[in-house]
Structure 1
């Protein structure tokens, strides 16, 4: 139910819908490596890997000290924020998505820095495994 969602989860939902409209699939709260957890990992139709960090407030952004560690795990890195967020705080060399619970819009495309082939293969396998485990858990919570 939407009322039970936290502000960041609402942003992630809108981002996932927007990505879907562009042929991407996504996993929320994806762990690319131990100690890291990205808000949304998008997998594009050509194997693109995008990380989207959802920030619901200035304090939420300022408390995030790990985001630069996500860069090596994706081809493009974006921030997703709502229309009231002070976007001048966000680094200009990153992508920017304006989102709400229902949709999103990419307002600044992130620069591309392609993931190495071996890491891409590992990430795609992890993405598929995580997505399949989550689906199985929905189908059969006792597993």
Structure 2
């Protein structure tokens, strides 16, 4: 975790490294993640991932306590995923993260799930809509490469 903590980096750089580490960790766990997913309620999920069984995870990355403290929108993500996690740096004060959500600690190279998320299964219609959104967004991004 030294990459983010060795030198004081600007918050956008810490956020980018955190998203990269979360993405790598999700891939290591067999999930397929994509970044910056716009949701139907106008919110944007930092990281969304699909499990091999079709479960949808959202990870909201928080680069520092100030970033977390000004964010009151995270409950709006719960209706779009089966599991919700915060992804934070090693130095983030973890006692601020609510117990009912998952906790991932990451750096630019990977991460670890320190606390599993409560499972809130999506209803079938919402699951289909979010899965189609995920698929269309991933295909659109691939076609731009």
Provide the TM-score with structure 2 as the length reference.
Answer: 0.90
Alpha-carbon distance in 1 for matches of 2:87, 2:120: 19
SS at 1:98 equivalent: strand
Work out which of the residue numbers 98, 105, 116 in structure 2 matches 1:109. Answer: 116
Work out which of the residue numbers 3, 20, 31 in structure 2 matches 1:24. Answer: 31
SS at 1:6 equivalent: helix
Partner of 1:37: 44
Shift of 1:15: 0.8
Q: How many residues align?
A: 136
- Matches for 1:45-64 after TM superposition, within 5 Å: 45-64=52-71
- Matches for 1:93-104 after TM superposition, within 5 Å: 93-104=100-111
**In the alignment, does 2:98 pair up with 1:91?**
yes
Task: Tell me the alpha carbon deviations over residues 31-65 of structure 1, each in whole angstroms, 9 at most, x when there is no partner.
Answer: 12142001100111000100100001011001112
Alpha-carbon distance in 1 for matches of 2:99, 2:14: 23
Alpha-carbon distance in 2 for matches of 1:38, 1:64: 13
SS at 1:120 equivalent: helix
Alpha-carbon distance in 2 for matches of 1:106, 1:120: 24
Provide the TM-score with structure 1 as the length reference.
Answer: 0.91
Alpha-carbon distance in 2 for matches of 1:132, 1:34: 22
What RMSD over aligned residues (CA atoms) do the two structures have, in Å? 1.5
Alpha-carbon distance in 1 for matches of 2:119, 2:35: 21
